[in-house]
Amino acid sequence: MTLTPGTATTIPVLSGYLPVQYRPFACRPACTCGTCYGITTDVPVTFIGQVEYADNSTELHYRDAAGNLHRVMTKAPSGDACF
């Protein structure tokens, strides 16, 4: 799928995740209640554009219906600019 500015799509968004130190004691080795790992929901968004940084990383920018900006890193930093 080719993304052009204005393209409508969905992206997964994680909400409700608890880091280990904030979990109930019984859930610290591995979650037993089923809520510590959060819930992933698909959010309908509109593609805004792609940003390429000097460290060779690439981010895709999306905006949802509420006006929130979502950034998805598609390529991690690499090369001489990272050191």
Contact 43, 11 (CB under 8 A): yes
pLDDT in tens, 28-83: 888 888 888 888 899 999 999 999 988 889 999 999 999 999 999 999 888 776 55
pLDDT of residue 82: 57
pLDDT of residue 81: 61
Both tokens of 41, joined, read 């929901």
pTM of the model: 0.72
Which of these, 66, 72, 59, 60, lies nearest to 13 by C-alpha position?
72
Parse the chain into domains and list their residue ranges.
8-82
Per DSSP, 83 falls in state -
Per DSSP, 1 falls in state -
Per DSSP, 49 falls in state E
pLDDT of residue 83: 57
pLDDT of residue 39: 87
- d(CA 76, CA 42) in angstroms, rounded, equals 23
pLDDT of residue 56: 86
**How many CB atoms lie under 10 A from the CB of residue 45?**
22
27 falls in which pLDDT band (50, 70, 90)?
confident
Contact 27, 33 (CB under 8 A): yes
